[in-house]
Structure 1
Amino acid sequence: MLTKRAAVASWSPVDRNREVSRCPWRSSALARPTTALASLGGPEAAVPAGVTLAAAAARVPVVLDGLATSIAALIAVRHEPAAQAALVAGHRSRERFGLEPLLDLRLRAAEGVRACLAARLLLSAVRLRREESGRVT
């Protein structure tokens, strides 16, 4: 994982990101959602994890874009394993949950650009499918 020192005030957040990015996602140490939350984040991870759970319950896809969303997704899946069905890897990255990514643009720290592109791709696919299913052949 590449991080830039200029983006943070000290090395501690950078070191934390490196530590978390090496974390074994399927580790039994992170099997319980509360343990995963305590180990990987706090409120900044709990809120997106709740959003992920709500989206999954509503059958809305959740596009993962980097470390923060992957941590939230991990916590959500530990809480409700069925939530994994809603996860979509927007791009190729280290934190993929074994998902096949929609895009491989080799962008790093793109501040959500990859997720926006992946979401647009999903929306275009849905629109195309609706248009095709409405045609009589």
Structure 2
Amino acid sequence: MAVTKRNRRQARQHAFQVIYAHEFHDEPSAVSYPDGEEQGNMDTTYATAIVDGVLAHVTELDAIIQEHSLKRKVEHLDKVDRSVLRLAIWEMKFSPEPLDPSIAINEAIQLAKDFGSDNSYKLVNGILDGVVKGK
């Protein structure tokens, strides 16, 4: 199967949902998924890499988020926003094949618009912009 932009977007969305589900469970094995969740042409290898990578680097990711979240502590951020930020920063900084920051930010903004509150995308954009610019 050829990897396409759509395959990666589906993989990223699935990975986000898994990462978000982990916000509610201490044990990874406690997270369950509906049957048929991994259908279609999704790049399941990439989705798994994102989830495993984010969960393995949560401490480092949260430290980066905290450094650029001047008004709120990471633990007080909305769970959707925190999950989106972790995913995007992992893709830019920890992935074996780092994603171009502009693509990572655009994808994160789309996830924030799709799953977050009305203003989630602004927060996500601001923090990720700071991460990229090293502010």
TM-score (norm 1): 0.31
RCO greater where, 1 or 2, for CA within 8 Å and sep 6 or more?
A: 2
Larger-gyration structure (1/2): 1
Q: Greater share of strand residues, 1 or 2?
A: 1
Q: Greater share of helix residues, 1 or 2?
A: 2
